[in-house]
Amino acid sequence: MRQSYDVVIIGAGPAGIFAAIELTKDNPSVTAPTVLLLEQGQDIDVRDRDQLTRGWGGSGAFSDGKLILSTQVGGWLADYVPAKDLNNLIEYVDGVYLEFGGVAERFGDKPDKIKKMKRAATLADLELVPVIVRHLGTDICLTVLKNMRQYLNSKIDIATDTTVAEVVAEEGRATGVRLADGTVIGAGAVIAAPGRAGARWLAAEATRLGLAKHANQVDLGVRVEVPAPVMEPLTDDFYEAKLVYRSKRFEDRVRTFCVNPYGEVTKERYHDHIETVNGHSYADRRTANTNFALLVSTTFTEPFTEPIAYGEYIARLANLLGEGIIVQRLGDLMRGHRSTPARLARGTVRPTLGDATPGDLSFVLPYRYISDILEMLAAMDKIAPGVYSRNTLLYGVEVKFYSQRMKMSAGLETDLPGLYAVGDGAGITRGLIQASAAGVVAARAITKASNC
Ligand SMILES: Cc1cc2nc3c(=O)[nH]c(=O)nc-3n(C[C@H](O)[C@H](O)[C@H](O)COP(=O)(O)OP(=O)(O)OC[C@H]3O[C@@H](n4cnc5c(N)ncnc54)[C@H](O)[C@@H]3O)c2cc1C
């Protein structure tokens, strides 16, 4: 490691990795910048599932590798990049995934199927948001990340197990980073890509550096698990059908998220002590079930301004009652009693998350969320009959924390010149493709600025 670099990148998730790849692309008219990529977690060959959100590959490493090729889903980059440029950027990023070992098959790009399903969704009081999905699967996703690691190895300096404690600023601009062991490394530009694991840290840094920021929403709900044939009307053609519902009782926005055909329900850890639920599927092996999240997006009443704390509170409540994740049959929830191992055994859906505790989600989720979720399941049953069955399993809770956003330019530079903020940790993305694209945006802005 040198004492100073042209660019220091914090976080080796998709946003940080794509920034590094873009900065080191062969370009005869530009001298290659010196780049250091710092990651607090372990390297790709060493890390395991217990470090779900930390290490080379970030939260993406053990993800399902569903590349959502959309300007509208997976982030808010459209707030910074004009629509046409963003479309091109997403295609470009998709191409890089292919180059490093991604798979060619795409779902959701057949106009006749979209038209038919849009109609069925409308009649069920739902909106279908068509998105094109390239599904890598967890195994291929890991291969792609390993290939990127190998490619970057000879081009930049990489330090894993290395935590950045602070962004260093002097005379009104970012000049480097201070590591947890006190070492200071100088930088012409700093790209902060700390993801969900580092979102709180980045928000605290923004406060310390006096940068303006505003809170994002929190999405809260459950993961639903059904026999795979129930969801086949949607998953066969769309893989990940994005359905949106506006609830009658509260007029809240409820949506499907992260659909995993023939997949498994998994656990996720936040801040090392909160367990939430998630899901994934492999490209080369199948379970009998499909799972997906139903998430409710709400804005909160004043004077409350801590949506992340609220989401954490609900997740902790589930952990308190279930000593981890709770699973409940829909039929049990509707009849007002908890699920037990015996009741689960009487159902037709075998839980793929074996150590979830049979329990009662009505003790965890406020009435508003339960009501919204039940309404959405009933609506979905019209296009995927069987979703609203007493056998359907609900796991709780699933929470998506979107970090606070700082004020940023079109090149994703913050109000502190030289400090760029990208990816999920910056609150501007929530998926692999847009996080990767954000890294490219910042890298291009830095290259442009250094050539001016
Ligand atoms: C289980 C799971 C499944 C998912 N499935 C999908 C999917 O199928 N499709 C999809 O589009 N999205 C999926 N996602 C979301 C996707 O993984 C994220 O949107 C994406 O990884 C965000 O990229 P990022 O680079 O912004 O942050 P991250 O991937 O979170 O990476 C940030 C990195 O920064 C490091 N870091 C943080 N702070 C510091 C610090 N101070 N110093 C040094 N390093 C630091 C962290 O350790 C981490 O490795 C999934 C997420 C999870 C958890």
> CB under 6 Å to ligand 1: residues?
10-16, 38-41, 52-55, 58-60, 62-66, 68, 74, 163-164, 193-198, 201, 258, 268, 278, 280, 423-425, 430-433, 435
Residue from 432, 433, 436, 440 to probe ligand 1 pocket by mutation (most atoms less than 8 Å from CB)? 432
CA of 313 to the centre of ligand 1 (A): 22
* CA-nearest residue, atom 19 of ligand 1: 431
Topology of 4-109+132-214+404-451 in CATH? FAD/NAD(P)-binding domain (3.50.50)
Domain residue limits, the chain: 4-109+132-214+404-451, 218-401
Residues 396, 277 contacting (CB under 8 angstroms): yes
Q: Which two tokens stand for residue 173?
A: 């601009």
Residue of 408, 406, 398 whose CA lies nearest to 314: 398
Under a CB-based contact definition with an 8 Å cutoff, are residues 199 and 421 in contact? no
The pLDDT tens digits along the chain (452 residues) read 899 999 999 999 999 999 999 999 987 767 889 999 999 999 999 987 777 789 999 987 887 788 999 998 899 999 999 999 999 999 999 999 999 999 878 888 888 999 999 999 999 999 999 889 898 888 899 999 999 999 999 999 999 999 999 999 999 999 999 999 999 999 999 999 999 889 889 999 999 999 987 777 778 999 999 999 999 999 998 888 899 999 999 999 999 999 999 999 999 887 668 999 999 887 678 999 999 999 998 877 777 767 778 888 999 999 999 999 999 999 999 999 999 999 999 999 999 999 999 999 999 999 999 999 999 999 999 999 999 999 999 999 999 877 678 999 999 999 999 999 999 999 999 899 999 999 999 999 999 998 76
Tokens 């509170």, located at residue: 313
How is 178-240 classified by DSSP, letter by letter? EETTS-EEEEEEEEE--TTTTHHHHHHHHHHTT--EE---EEEEEEEEEEHHHHHHHHHHHSS
Ligand 1 pocket test, pick from 22, 63, 90 with the greatest ligand atom count within 8 Å of Cβ, gives 63
Tokens, residue 416: 């502190």
Taking the C-alpha atoms of residue 161 and residue 212, their distance in angstroms, rounded to an integer, is 30
Measured CA to CA, the distance from residue 290 to residue 394 in angstroms comes to 12
